Amino acid sequence: MARQKSATDEEAGAIDLTPMLDVVFIMLIFFIVTATFIKEPGVEVDRPDAVTAALKNSKVLVAINKDNDIWIDKKEVDLALVQDQVELLLAENPKSPVVIQIDGAANIKTLNDVTKAVKDAGVNDISIATNKE
């Protein structure tokens, strides 16, 4: 009889971890779904410094590196295709602003041409990414 009693005592003293694991998995799913992922243009850019830099979240990032190569959505794009690529990305989110990241050593003419192509795509909210001093 003593054997049977000790087995039930062990079971009564055991901690059931199933509800805790359920809560942990639900929290994990919540944080994965609600996390804001940083979208990168696909090339490293040394942005110029500015005193009035402000944080802006955008789904459309255009990068211009020091060699005046244009990158959109991790792909190098020719200047003639910038408007088409921006229109394609804006089809998913039409109200999204466009942020242009330009290297400090890049040519200002390339920035002007890219800005014109983005405006031709129908975007009025265009920002230039900088580092805050």
* C-alpha span between 86 and 119 (Å, rounded): 10
pLDDT digits (tens, 9 = 90+) for 7-65: 566 666 778 888 889 999 999 998 888 776 656 666 666 655 554 555 555 678 888 88
User: What does the alpha-carbon distance between residue 95 and residue 97 come to, in Å, rounded to a whole number?
Assistant: 6
Domain 49-132 sits in CATH 3.90.1140: no
Pull the structure tokens for residue 48: 């110029």
Nearest CA-CA partner of 118 in 93, 98, 103: 98
Is residue 101 a contact partner of residue 64, using CB atoms and an 8 Å limit?
yes
Cα(108)–Cα(68) distance, rounded to whole angstroms? 9
**Cβ contacts of 109 within 8 Å, gap of 6 or more:** none
Domain chopping of the chain, boundaries: 2-34, 49-132
Global pTM reads 0.58
Strand residue runs (E) in 8-119:
49-50, 60-64, 70-72, 75-77, 98-102
The tens digit of pLDDT for each residue in 89-128 reads: 888 777 888 888 888 888 889 989 999 999 998 888 888 8
If we measure between CA atoms, which residue out of 114, 93, 103 comes closest to residue 39? 93
Residue type, 22: D
**Beta-strand pair 60-64/75-77:** unpaired
